[in-house]
Amino acid sequence: MNFIALKMLFGDRAKFIGIVVGLTFASLLITQQSAIFAGIMTRTFSFLLDVGLPDIWVVDPRVKYIDDIKPLDDDAYLQVRGVEGVQWAVPLYKGSLAVRTKDGTYQSCTVVGLDDETLMGGPAMMVSGDLSYLRRSGAVIVDQTGAEGKLAHLLPGGKSIPLKVGAEIEINENEAVVVGICKVSQTFQNVPVIYMTYSAATLFSPGQRLLLSFVCVKAKPGQDLHSLCQRIERATGLRAYTRNEFKVLTFLYYLEYTGMPINFLTAVALGFLVGIAISGQTFYNFTLDNLRYFGTLKAMGASNRMLLRMILLQAMVVGGIGYGLGVGAATVWGMYMGAHTQLAFRLPWHLLVVSAVAVLVICLSSAALSIRKVMKLEPAVVFRS
Amino acid sequence: MSETLPKKVENSKIAVHCEGVSKTFGAGNAAVHALRGVDLDVRTGELLMLVGPSGCGKTTLISVIAGVLRRDGGDCTIFGQDYKLMTEDGITSFRGLNIGFVFQAFNLIPSLTTAENVATPLIINGMKPKPAVSKARDMLIQVGFDERMMRSFPSDLSGGQQQRVAIARALVHGPRFIVCDEPTSALDGETGLKVMELLRRLGCVEDRALVVVTHDSRIYKFADRIAAMEDGRITEVVDSASQLKVLSEQTI
């Protein structure tokens, strides 16, 4: 019967295309919007991913997410070092400073101040220069996207010259020299990232009394991270998060306090509803058009089970094709836009499953109406002209 | 009601036996008594025509006999089997193996080729598509189709050709009982006669019974017997050759 089911499906080309287009559009919209949402949400904690070594992040108890900087006492990291189970603890500065480019424009940048001794928290991938050059006076490392984009020297004709090693920039009216270009993950704010030593950061920063943003902690081997967090909190009165906890905290903050989830969920729901509306309606019409033939098959001895399998097969085939085309189109679009723009697009396998389940639900809902109609069909209908 | 059996079938087995069969649609004041105690026997090897005015219950009766509609009362057996004693799946399976259908509107699936349409009953009965289509081709040769026509779709065929395909589809799996609902009403006179000749030639074999519901008096000559219906009852069963004229004037 699969043979007949598929022939019937492909035979009605207009409806087949209509159903597939509806499902493709639904799949495309669901996958694309989910992937953009995932991309943006990943950017909210991308700094945590880039600074991979610490097991624990110690912050002010009022901090709600990673960019919610509430400076700590300058000696807080010394207190943390004294806690049992801590292998090392280093200070880390994260803030926002204005950078004046060669053409005179000001650009807000994220500045990361690394522990002078260890340079812990520095970029994992250098494009040019070396991390150790940061120890030179007034040295900074700039991220590649920023160097080629917002910090590039804009010429009158519209062309721009990327910032290179050896270039001079002005940070808070202090001269700095670019000693390296690095690669970092895109951040939520999408501003250039500049690395320098912690002591340089204190020089470049405006007259703030407290500068320490985080204490990054590495636990001794075999330590239970949650117990260590509790010990740090007891000893310092600060809040200690494992990396994953801090990631989740940041993720949940953006989820709760921004309109992003609603916006993206609306788009995803729209895709789902469009899928149901277009494909469901067309599939149902396809079944109605073929009701006479389903009745004929029933009269000729096809059981309800056979007809059920036929309709499910038809629904699964259009679902599979629509899903494949939709996900494929979303992936190609995401790859293209990701390569040519700053678009946040992340498509982990979980999203492919979510999209597949959504398309499956659309197909089954569409098929359910048709199945109901065919199951209730009296074979005697075939004698009505 | 008197019943005379043509010589050809007087020693044949009873294929269908109906006694007091009744069927009502709806209830209360809106109830329509489509069958009011129908008594009828159909024998193997015979072609019985069921005639009567519109709404007299012909189609309801063949629906009950073919097992596509449940009767309300009376007895009805087909080759000794009573649908009332079968499960729904059992009836469906019985229909698939034992009954062939020819419809007024042909009911050929438009997206299947001629050969694939004819192969449908075989596929329903579990045969793989390839051998089923191959067997269907043999059947189509018997109804006068060539290779090109076998590959064509129903929309490419004339009404007469489509009905020939429908006949091939009704016969391909070797059913023991064939029901034809107004097989010539969508065809012109000459084509209708050719279709009936074909049905008679291929369909009327020793172990098979045919019931043809028709309004078309031009095809009565193909019947072994004619059963006239009126108001849900069989009023007369006559030998076609001897009483055809009387019947056509009085009943139709």
B124 to A302: CB separation less than 8 angstroms, yes or no: yes
Give the pLDDT confidence score for residue B243 in this predicted structure.
61
Cβ–Cβ < 8 Å for A48, A245: no
Give yes or no: residues A363 and A296 share one domain: yes
Interface check A71 vs B, CB under 8 A: no
pLDDT tens profile A152-181:
887 777 788 888 888 888 888 888 999 999
Query: What is d(CA A183, CA A123) in angstroms, rounded to the nearest whole number?
Result: 7
Question: In the beta sheet, which residues pair with residue A144?
Answer: none
Low-confidence ranges of chain A (pLDDT < 70): 206-208, 384-385
pLDDT of residue A376: 86
Alpha carbon of A298: minimum distance to chain B alpha carbons (Å)? 8
User: Which pLDDT score is estimated for B250?
Assistant: 47
Chain centroid to CA A152: 26
Q: Is residue A249 part of a domain?
A: no
Q: B3 in a domain, yes or no? A: no
**Residue A142, in any domain of the structure:** yes
Subunit contact A383:B97, Cβ cutoff 8 A: no
ipTM of the complex: 0.88
Contact A289/B at CB under 8 A:
no
Q: Which residues of A touch B99 (CB under 8 A)?
A: 301
A315-346 pLDDT tens trace = 999 999 999 999 999 999 998 988 887 788 88
| pLDDT for B74 beyond 60 | yes
Residue B195 neighbours by CB under 8 Å, 6+ apart = B160, B163, B164, B167, B183, B184, B187
Q: Quick check: A301 and B68 CB within 8 A? A: no
Do residues A35 and A89 both lie within one domain? no
Task: Give the model's pLDDT for residue A240.
Answer: 94
Tell if the CB–CB gap between B101 and A296 is shorter than 8 Å. yes
Alpha helices in chain A (DSSP H): 2-11, 13-44, 46-50, 76-81, 144-148, 198-204, 225-236, 243-257, 260-274, 281-289, 291-299, 304-340, 349-375
B90: tokens are 């059992």
Chain B positions contacting chain A at CB under 8 Å are 59, 62-63, 66, 68-69, 88-89, 92-97, 99, 101, 103-105, 107, 109-112, 116, 120-121, 123-125, 129, 181-182
**Do residues A37 and A150 share a domain?**
no
Q: Does A107 lie in the same domain as A199? A: yes
The first and second tokens of residue A88, run together, are: 């090392």
Same domain flag for A208 and A89: yes
Average pLDDT across chain B, whole number: 86
Phi, psi of A80 (to 5 degrees): -65, -40
Instruction: Classify residue B62: in a domain, yes or no.
Output: yes
Q: What tokens appear for B116 in the block? A: 């694939």
Query: Are A380 and B92 within 8 A, CB to CB?
Result: no
A118 and A13 within one domain: no
Please give the interface size between A and B, counted as residue pairs whose CB atoms are below 8 Å apart.
88
Decide if A382 touches B, using CB distance below 8 A. Answer: yes
Q: Is residue A193 part of a domain?
A: yes
Whether B6 is covered by a domain: the verdict is no
- Whether residue A297 is contained in a domain is answered as yes
Alpha helix segments (H runs only) across A124-194: 144-148
Domain range spanning residue B150?
12-250
* A53 within domain boundaries: no
Closest chain B residue to A294, measured at CA: B109
Residues A211 and A309 occupy one common structural domain = no
Rounded to a whole number of angstroms, the distance from the CA of A21 to the nearest CA of chain B is 21
Whether B34 contacts B57, CB under 8 Å: yes
User: Could you tell me if A385 lies within 8 Å of chain B, comparing CB atoms?
Assistant: yes
Domain housing A355: 2-43+259-383
State the smallest CA–CA distance between residue A280 and chain B in angstroms: 21
Strand order in the sheet with B225-230: B99-102, B177-181, B209-213, B47-51, B225-230, B233-239
What pLDDT is stored for residue B123 in this prediction?
95
**Is residue A54 in some structural domain?**
no
Same domain, A208 and A267: no
Q: Of A19, A42, A25, nearest to A338 (Cα)? A: A42
A311/A199 same-domain check: no
CB distance A303–B92 less than 8 Å?
yes
CA A134 from centre of chain: 31
Interface contact flag, B68 A306, Cβ < 8 Å: no
CA distance A199 to A180: 18
Number of domains in chain A: 2
Distance in angstroms (rounded) separating the CA atoms of residues B120 and A180: 74
Question: B213-230: buried (b, 16+ CB within 10 Å) or exposed (e) per residue?
Answer: bbebbebbebbbbbbbbb
Nearest to A301 among B96, B107, B116 (CB): B96
Cα-to-chain-centroid distance, residue A213: 25
Give the tens place of pLDDT for each residue, A339-373: 887 788 888 899 899 899 988 998 888 888 888 88
Nearest residue of chain A to residue B170 (CA atoms): A300
CATH number, domain of B28, equals: 3.40.50.300
Would an 8 Å CB–CB cutoff place A380 in contact with chain B?
Answer: yes
pLDDT at B247 over 60: no
pLDDT of residue B249: 53
What is the tally of structural domains in chain B?
A: 1
- Residue B66 within any structural domain of the chain: yes
Spatial CA neighbour of B42 closest among B71, B65, B70: B65
Q: What's the pLDDT band for B241 if we cut at 50, 70, 90?
A: very low
Structural domain includes residue A374? yes
CB < 8 Å to B94, chain A: 301
pLDDT above 90: percentage of residues in chain B: 43
Predicted pLDDT of residue A287: 87
Please report the pLDDT score of residue B240 as a whole number: 64
Across residues B106-130, what is the average pLDDT?
Answer: 93
Do A88 and A181 lie in one domain? The reply is yes
Picking from B104, B116, B123, the nearest residue to A1 by CB comes out as B123
Of the candidates B95, B105, B109, which has its C-beta nearest A301's C-beta?
Answer: B95
Torsion of CA A126, A129, A133, A134, to 10 degrees: -50
C-alpha R_g of chain A: 29
Whether the predicted pLDDT of B99 surpasses 90: yes
A99 - beta bridge partners? Answer: A107, A171
Helix (H) or strand (E) holding B22: strand B14-25
Structure tokens at A293: 């033939």
Contact A302 B92 (CB under 8 A): yes
Same domain, yes or no: A264 and A340: yes
* Contacting residues of A for B92, CB less than 8 Å apart: 298, 301-304
- Distance from C-alpha of B165 to C-alpha of A256, rounded to nearest angstrom: 66
* pLDDT for res A385: 56
pLDDT tens by residue, B177-236: 999 998 888 778 788 888 888 888 887 888 899 999 988 888 888 888 899 888 899 988
- Which residues in B lie closer than 8 A to residue A298 (C-beta atoms)? 68, 92
pLDDT of residue A324: 95
